[in-house]
Chains A and B, each alone.
Chain A
Amino acid sequence: MLKENLNRVVRQGWVNFKRNSWLAFGTVGIMVLALLIFVGLVAFNVVSQITVSALEEKVDVTAYLNDDVSNDQAFQIVRELENMPEVSFVNYVSKEEALEEFRERHKGEELVQQALEELGDNPLQASLEIKAVKTAQYANLVSFIENSNFRNLIDKIDFYENEIVINRIQKISSGLRMGGILVTLLLSLIAVLVTFNTIRLTIYSQKQEIEIMRLVGASNWHIRGPFVIEGAIYGLIAGLVVLIIFYPVVLIASPKIQTFIPSVNLTSYFSNFFGQMLFLVIGLGMAIGIISSFVAVRRYLKI
């Protein structure tokens, strides 16, 4: 009985979809536009997210240690810093490593190499490269170091020179995030409302049919079932169309975006998340279709 009902509902939903093809075409079209806006926003958020994290990746502070600090003392500081929740990563660069790096960087520059030879002594300082979990935490981190018991082992911290850049990056990234969320919410709301209204109009055109079904003695679920299935079919088709449009566009646009922002590779990002995108877009389309139909039919079930 249940299986037979389910069969009937699905079959009837599909038949309605085919018979209403002209109307269905319009509704699916609107849903495609709405979902395109949505995936466009997802792509925009991905690009800005990756850009922001690439920028943040570049930010760190370096604390230069006094020459008389031993390796043991340095590791002691490293451990203490690593215990702080704000710190994501500390890298200790000893005097020797610093010199090695310096030499490497100025390979082939005779003058620099000669100057080093002439000095005889290692003029570079050991240092700690510290990365915070969030860009906003650098100021706190630095003031913690300033007040710590190992402050006298530290010669200087380069935060102050970088402070303005760090602040600016932080402002841009939080602005982008907030803006992204706001725009996404607003446009998604518009997309959902437009879709909902389109489906409502589609069902309004069948208002009389629904009332007749009621008068002949159909239960609410008997009437509603096929409409809900029809809504789900709208969502399914719209979702598929959107993915068919979206992926080629990503393929074409990705190299162009990459020339501006090298760290952003949309093609690989969206192929890694293909399953999730499929689920998200089709799921969203079907959910909107089902809920809109459900709500819209209810209005005419009162008779």
Chain B
Amino acid sequence: MIIFDKVIKDYNGNTNYRALDEISLEIKDGEFVSIIGPSGAGKSTFIKMLIREEAPTGGRVLIDNLNVAELEDGQIPVLRRKIGTIFQDFKLLSNKTAHENVAFALEVIGMSRKQIESDVPKVLRIVGMEDRAVNFPHQLSGGEKQRIAIARALIHRPKILLADEPTGNLDMLNTFDVIKLLTKINEFGTTVILASHNREVVNAVGKRVVTLDRGKIVKDQEQGKYSI
């Protein structure tokens, strides 16, 4: 269960412009939530709060009753291991190969080398990247990088999957593959939070839609459509 309780976020103490302005909402385990809104609405900040990339200026962010803002430095990695994140800018490790990038998520949770060697090729096959395992990120196209990023976010079977514009660099065909993949993962019980400003993507999912504008929630619909 994820709870946002009157969450406020200013950047650099700029109170005239709040990235998040007293946001409150609840996301149940196993839900699929699309967060939509124009650029600068606060979608990415919303995602950053959950992995504690940014701390809230005010209010509480609770994940399974754990206040994310109050985590000690040593506890932050433990939280992040429970969550898989597909970042808008991929955030792949540039001096590691595709295979090593995906394997990294498993090393981090302390999985044995043997297990890693057996799991990584399977997941690379799922995202259709088994032929590019030895390539470095700079040798991959935007869409290919995105698929590696998705593989890394999924491989450790996180309880929560965050996806920040995961289809931003993909053509229509690939986009729907990704959406299908996210829906599938959600069906297996993973909570999925998708931040997007892509109308087709959100409409294709057809699940709960939360609309943000200027840091405030302006709409929260159970079976929403993209409508701004």
Show the binding face of A for B, using Cβ within 8 Å.
1, 4-5, 7-8, 16, 19-20, 206, 208-209, 212-220, 222, 303
Contacts and interface: CB of A to CB of B under 8 A. Distances in A.
Interface residues of B, number: 27
Nearest to B156: A217
A47 B92 CA distance: 55
B95 A209 contact: yes
Interface string B75-101: 011111101010100011111000000
- Which 10 interchain pairs have the tightest Cβ spacing? A217-B80, A217-B81, A212-B91, A218-B108, A219-B77, A217-B77, A217-B108, A19-B95, A209-B93, A216-B105
Contacts of B80: 214-217
B120 to A, nearest CB: 14
A251 B108 CA distance: 51
A220 B73 CA distance: 9
A83 to B, nearest CB: 64
Contacts of A20: 95
B113 interface: yes
Given A1-B110, A303-B53, A216 B152 contact: yes
A235 to B, nearest CB: 21
B88 to A, nearest CB: 12
Contacts of A213: 93, 104, 108
Contacts of B76: 214
Given A212-B91, A216-B152, A217-B105, A4 B112 contact: yes
A215 B91 contact: yes
Nearest to B94: A209
A158 B154 CA distance: 92
Contacts of B107: 8, 218, 222
A215 B95 contact: no
B51 interface: yes
Given A7-B113, A217-B81, 15 more contacts: A4-B113, A5-B110, A8-B113, A209-B93, A212-B93, A213-B93, A213-B108, A214-B80, A215-B85, A215-B87, A216-B108, A216-B152, A217-B105, A220-B74, A222-B77
Contacts of B25: none
Nearest to B92: A212
Given A16-B95, A19-B95, A209-B95, A215 B108 contact: no
Q: Which of A20, A215, A218, A219 has the most CB of B within 10 A?
A: A215
A4 B116 CA distance: 12
A1 B105 CA distance: 17
B181 interface: no
- Residue among B74, B77, B80, B81 having the largest count of chain A Cβ atoms under 10 Å: B77
Contacts of A303: 53
Contacts of A222: 77, 107-108
B126 interface: no
B109 interface: yes
A19 B97 CA distance: 11
Interface in B136-150: none
A5 B109 CA distance: 11
A217 B95 contact: no
Contacts of A8: 107, 113
Contacts of B79: 217
Given A1-B110, A213-B104, A218 B77 contact: yes
A216 B93 CA distance: 11
A16 B77 CA distance: 23
A219 B95 contact: no
Contact of A215 (B51, B110, B112, B113): B51
A140 B94 CA distance: 72
21 contacts: A1-B110, A5-B110, A8-B113, A16-B95, A212-B91, A214-B80, A216-B91, A216-B105, A216-B108, A216-B152, A217-B78, A217-B79, A217-B80, A217-B81, A217-B105, A217-B108, A217-B109, A218-B108, A219-B108, A220-B74, A220-B77
Contacts of A220: 73-74, 77
Contacts of B51: 215
A216 B104 contact: yes
B210 to A, nearest CB: 23
Contacts of B78: 217
A216 to B, nearest CB: 6
A214 B105 CA distance: 11
A206 B96 CA distance: 12
Contacts of A216: 80, 85, 91, 104-105, 108, 152
Interface-centre pick from B83, B92, B104 (highest chain A CB count, 10 A): B104
